[in-house]
Amino acid sequence: MSARTTIEWTDTTWNPVTGCTEVSEGCDHCYAKTLAERFRGTPGHYFENGFDVQLRPDKLAEPLRWRKPRRVFVNSMSDLFHDDVPDAFIARVFAVMARCSQHTFQILTKRHGRMRSLLSAPHFAELVTTWAWRDGVRPFTPMVQLPVPNVWLGVSVEDQKWANIRIPALLDTPAAVRFLSCEPLLGPIVLPETKAIDWLIVGGESGRGARPVHPDWVRGLRDQCAAANVLYFFKQWGEWAPESVCATERGARGALYIERDGATRPAAFGARGQAVTIQRNGKHRTGRLLDGFTYEAYPCSEHGGRVEWNPTADTWLPGTVIAHDGPLLRIRIDDNQQVFIVDPRDTRPLAEVSA
C-alpha cells in the first residue's frame, strides 16, 4: 500500500510492513486495524490475513521510483518497531530511506523502547549499509551514518502517562528531527521535556466510538509549544468539537458537556463547573480551525534550518499581529529563520520576547 493520502501532515504513505497489535489506549480505535480486518478471509485480497503483521518486501523499492520530493509517512498501516519485524528488515527500510535523500520520511511509533535500543546499537548502521548495498542497483555510500538526515522519528503520546514514558525514550534516540503525535489526544498533557523536540502534531479522535477532546488540552499544548519554540500542527478536532467550532441541529441533540479532566455527561443535564459543550458532527464538519486559525507548521528536512509555514492568513511577517476570526497571533522569526507564534497578549517589543 502506498498512496496519496488525506493525512494532513504528510504527502504519501509507504507501507513496507502491514499489520500490528495494540499497545496502549491510543490504539483502541485503530483505523488501520478496522480497515484491514474488514477483508480478513477474502481470498486474494491484499488484506486477506487481516491485521496480522506481514512484511512486504515487494514494496521496499517504491520510494526509489518517486522523483518528486515528498513527505512520506512510513507504515501508516503498522508500527515499524513491532516485535514481529526483524532487525534486518528494519535495516532494509532505513537503507531505502538513506538512498532517497530527496524525500523526507516520517516514522511514528508506540514501540519507543525497541526504537531506542535498535537505533542506538552500534551494529545497526552497519546493517543498514549492508542492505543499502545488497538491495541497491549500484554501490551506495561506503557507510550509512545514523541518524539519517531525512528521517524524522516520532512517538505517539495520547495522555500524560505515555508522555512521561515515550518522550524521554525519543529524546534518547539518535534522530535528525524528533516529533510527537498527540492523536488521539485523550487528556491534558504537560510536556516533561521540550528542548530537543522539533514538532508536535495534535488531533482529536475520529471514527466510530471516538472519544472527545477538550479544547483546553489542545490549547495547552499549543501554548507550551509557543513557549518552547516547538513547531505546532493542529491536525483535526475529530468527531467531536466545541459548539463554538461546529454546531448543527443534529449535533445538538447528542451534545455533551466535557470537563477539563475528560469527564462527560449529556448537555441536557445542565452545565456545571467549567464544562464546555461539544457536539458530534464528524471530522469533515468539525475541521481543524483552532481559535480561528489553521496551525500548520513543519520542520524542514535540514534540521535547524528554515521552517515551512502555511497559515491561513494573508501576511506573515516578523512581529505581525494578525486577527483572523479569533484571538490575535504574533510572529517572531529567530536568527535561524525559524518562525514562532508568541503570546499576543505580551506587549513588549518582539526582540525582548523570548521565543
Residue 279 neighbours by CB distance under 10 Å: 26
State which of residues 7, 27, 165, 350 lies at the interface with ligand SF4 (CB under 6 A).
Answer: 27
State which of residues 79, 159, 239, 291 lies at the interface with ligand SF4 (CB under 6 A).
Answer: 79
Cβ closest to ligand SF4, residue 22 vs residue 346: 22
Cβ closest to ligand SF4, residue 26 vs residue 242: 26
Q: Residue 328 corresponds to which cell in the numbers above?
A: 490575535
Cβ closest to ligand SF4, residue 187 vs residue 220: 187
Taking the C-alpha atoms of residue 135 and residue 219, their distance in angstroms, rounded to an integer, is: 46
State which of residues 3, 22, 38, 121 lies at the interface with ligand SF4 (CB under 6 A).
Answer: 22
Of 26-34, 140-148, 247-255, 316-324: span binding ligand SF4 (CB under 6 A): 26-34
Q: Does 83 bind ligand SF4 (CB under 6 A)?
A: no
Q: Are 91 and 121 in contact (CB under 8 A)?
A: no
State which of residues 1, 17, 32, 289 lies at the interface with ligand SF4 (CB under 6 A).
Answer: 32
Cβ closest to ligand SF4, residue 51 vs residue 233: 51
- With H, G, I as helix, E, B as strand and everything else as coil, classify residue 340: strand
Q: Does 211 bind ligand SF4 (CB under 6 A)?
A: no
Q: Does 291 bind ligand SF4 (CB under 6 A)?
A: no
Query: Considering the complex, what minimum distance in angstroms separates the CB of residue 161 from ligand SF4?
Result: 15
State which of residues 30, 276, 313, 353 lies at the interface with ligand SF4 (CB under 6 A).
Answer: 30
Strands 329-333 and 321-322: antiparallel
Which residues is 68 bridged to in the sheet?
none
Query: Considering the complex, what minimum distance in angstroms separates the CB of residue 13 from ligand SF4?
Result: 12
Q: Does 110 bind ligand SF4 (CB under 6 A)?
A: yes
Please compute Rg for the chain using Cα positions.
21
Q: Does 23 bind ligand SF4 (CB under 6 A)?
A: yes
Q: Does 20 bind ligand SF4 (CB under 6 A)?
A: yes
Extract the runs of DSSP E, i.e. beta strands, from the chain: 2-4, 12-14, 17-18, 54-55, 71-74, 104-109, 151-156, 177-182, 199-203, 231-236, 240-242, 256-258, 264-266, 276-280, 297-298, 308-309, 321-322, 329-333, 339-342
Q: How close are the terminal C-alpha atoms of the chain, in Å? A: 41
Q: Are 73 and 106 in contact (CB under 8 A)?
A: yes
Q: Are 301 and 308 in contact (CB under 8 A)?
A: no
The dihedral sign for the CA sequence 139, 144, 148, 153? positive
Q: How many residues bind ligand SF4 (CB under 6 A)?
A: 10
Q: Are 227 and 346 in contact (CB under 8 A)?
A: no
Cβ closest to ligand SF4, residue 114 vs residue 222: 114
Of 25-33, 168-176, 212-220, 322-330: span binding ligand SF4 (CB under 6 A): 25-33
Of 30-38, 228-236, 304-312, 328-336: span binding ligand SF4 (CB under 6 A): 30-38
Residues near ligand SF4 (CB under 6 A): 20, 22-23, 27, 30, 32-33, 78-79, 110
